[in-house]
Structure 1
Amino acid sequence: MIKTDEIIENLEKIGFGKKEAEVFLELVKNPGTNGSQIAKNLGYQRTTVYQNLDILQKKGYISSYLDKEITLYKTMNLKEILENYNKEINGATKFLKDELSKVEVSGTQKQFYNLNSFEEIKDRFKNILKRAKKIVYINTNLNLFEYEKELKKLREKDVRIIVFSFNKIDYSSLGIEAYIRESFNFNITDSEKRIMIAADSSVAMIASNYEGEFCGTYSENKLLVNTVTEHIKNDIHLMKLEESLGRSINRIITLDF
């Protein structure tokens, strides 16, 4: 029996994105397949599949050829792929071990990293969840049931999960602290999608699809971590204040010149 989940997980460990791994495995099982067939088998949009086929081909993991004017794909020699990867990793490990020890560290300021795709943002979001040890603050209007597996593991480790959202989604089955500001209950299809997360006062990420394209920033910089944490805390505080007053707080400021 093919251990599909374990194969995907191990492909991710050697640098494949999740969808890259799924497309690659589909080609291992069904060589000489076109993009439309792969999309149908995996249940993904064709544009998503073709994007990942292009990535895999550029990396040298698959090749394409024409058959009656239809582009078909197949994997390269699997043994050679893994042997070459192993050589590259060993070489890179030796080089980094030697060279990084020579690098002089100037200060302790943490860097900011740009995230330029939704897949990259989701992968980083999962990574933050997996690393959390004490507490996680989340502000998002995305459906968190997609991350049920990661959230369950956090609960098992007694990590406190605090979520604020403008979308009315029942998260009671996830066992997390959810605060829904219903007075601003936007529909996710009509509003800007966004993710804000901070964990353990050590790492944070902000991201959105502003103007239709997803982009974000990830950092262990304390300023960003504290800013995101306080922003989410303030959202929750404002919501509780509205509930205590029994009305929405909308303050309009006019300036007279």
Structure 2
Amino acid sequence: MVENEKILENLEKVGFGRKEAEVFLELIKNPGTNGSQIAKTLGYPRTTVYQNLDILQKKGYINSYLDKEITFYKTMDLNEIFENYKKNVESATKFLKDELNKVGVSGKQKQFYNLNSFDDIKDRFKTILKRAEKVVYINTNLDLFEFEKDFKKLKEKGVRIILFSFNKTDYANLGIEAYIRESFNLNVTDSEKRIMVAIDSTAAIIGSNYEGEFCGTYSENKLLVNIVTEHIKNNIHLMKLENQFGHNINKIITLDF
């Protein structure tokens, strides 16, 4: 029997968000359950589950019915769902292929895309990790063990994963080249989480929970990618200088204006 993780990964490939896929799979296993039951099984807040149930219903993947004033959910016919998905993808692909070739827009300037939640940032991070071919630069205080499987696949491809952080964490088992500026050793709190990532000089993510809400930006704009890459490299370089010359490095490196 195919393991759940493999099913979830393939649902993501056909356009499901991670939590959408988990809720959808749970409904396949236990049709006719309500949001509270699903939340209890998956260990998610009920608000999160109901948000994803609403998304799935709007996409036409599930329907709902009332029984004694309680809303229950079940999936639509699976063959119908994926047959419709196949037709929609084929139709959309043909349209885009024909129409985008007519658009005479320069591809030199890449756009910036808003990431409006922590889940959006994590999902985008996982997506661009799969595209990495040479090196991944990371500056974060987030728990990276959540991405252990992704890092393992990168190491198998021979991709270097380079991390700079102010927070001491042992990532040796993840195959990460970690540079920790221990002189700071900041404590991670919910109000201070952040992430910066650059992939192969082709894509970048910047995100933090500014003012309590997680938000960020994703772009393939080369200027932003280079800024993120150089920022992380410079932090590593400064850390090495500090290790060599001591904390007085901050007095040695001064700028006179």
Please, what TM-score do these two structures have when normalized by structure 2?
A: 0.91
Letter matched to residue 127 of structure 2: N
Equivalence for 1:255:
none
Equivalence for 1:81:
81
Letter matched to residue 110 of structure 1: K
Structure 1 residues 213-232: aligned runs within 5 Å: 213-232=213-232
Structure 1 residues 82-231: aligned runs within 5 Å: 82-106=82-106, 108-189=108-189, 191-231=191-231
Structure 1 position 107, deviation (Å)? 5.5
Give deviations 1:169-207, integer Å, cap 9, x for gaps.
101111211011122222222541111011211211111
Structure 1 position 79, deviation (Å)? 2.2
Structure 1 position 66, deviation (Å)? 2.0
Would the aligned equivalents of 2:191 and 2:211 in 1 still touch at CA under 8 Å?
A: no
Which ranges of 4 or more aligned residues in structure 1 deviate by more than 3 Å?
A: 248-251
CA distance, structure 1, for counterparts of residue 30 and residue 213 of structure 2? 33
Letter matched to residue 230 of structure 1: E
CA distance, structure 2, for counterparts of residue 3 and residue 153 of structure 1? 18
Structure 1 position 6, deviation (Å)? 2.8
Query: Tell me, what secondary structure is at the counterpart of 1:65?
Result: strand
Would the aligned equivalents of 1:138 and 1:196 in 2 still touch at CA under 8 Å?
A: yes
Deviates further, 45-54 or 224-233: 45-54
CA distance, structure 2, for counterparts of residue 235 and residue 47 of structure 1? 39
Please, what TM-score do these two structures have when normalized by structure 1?
A: 0.91
Query: Tell me, what secondary structure is at the counterpart of 2:33?
Result: coil
Q: Does 1:29 align with 2:19?
A: no
Letter matched to residue 211 of structure 1: E
Letter matched to residue 219 of structure 1: S
Query: Tell me, what secondary structure is at the counterpart of 1:44?
Result: coil
Letter matched to residue 168 of structure 1: K
Give the unaligned 5+ runs of structure 1: 252-257
CA distance, structure 1, for counterparts of residue 107 and residue 152 of structure 2? 37
Structure 1 position 125, deviation (Å)? 0.7
Shift of the 248–207 alpha-carbon distance from structure 1 to 2, 3 Å rule, reads farther
Shift of the 159–248 alpha-carbon distance from structure 1 to 2, 3 Å rule, reads farther
Would the aligned equivalents of 2:132 and 2:199 in 1 still touch at CA under 8 Å?
A: yes
Give deviations 1:115-160, integer Å, cap 9, x for gaps.
1121121111112211111111100000111111111111122211
Give deviations 1:100-122, integer Å, cap 9, x for gaps.
12111335111111111211211
Would the aligned equivalents of 1:183 and 1:248 in 2 still touch at CA under 8 Å?
A: no
CA distance, structure 2, for counterparts of residue 237 and residue 136 of structure 1? 17
Letter matched to residue 24 of structure 2: F
Structure 1 position 221, deviation (Å)? 1.1
Would the aligned equivalents of 1:164 and 1:180 in 2 still touch at CA under 8 Å?
A: yes
CA distance, structure 2, for counterparts of residue 39 and residue 248 of structure 1? 53
Would the aligned equivalents of 1:204 and 1:220 in 2 still touch at CA under 8 Å?
A: yes
Between the aligned residues of both structures, percent identity stands at: 78
Would the aligned equivalents of 2:152 and 2:174 in 1 still touch at CA under 8 Å?
A: yes
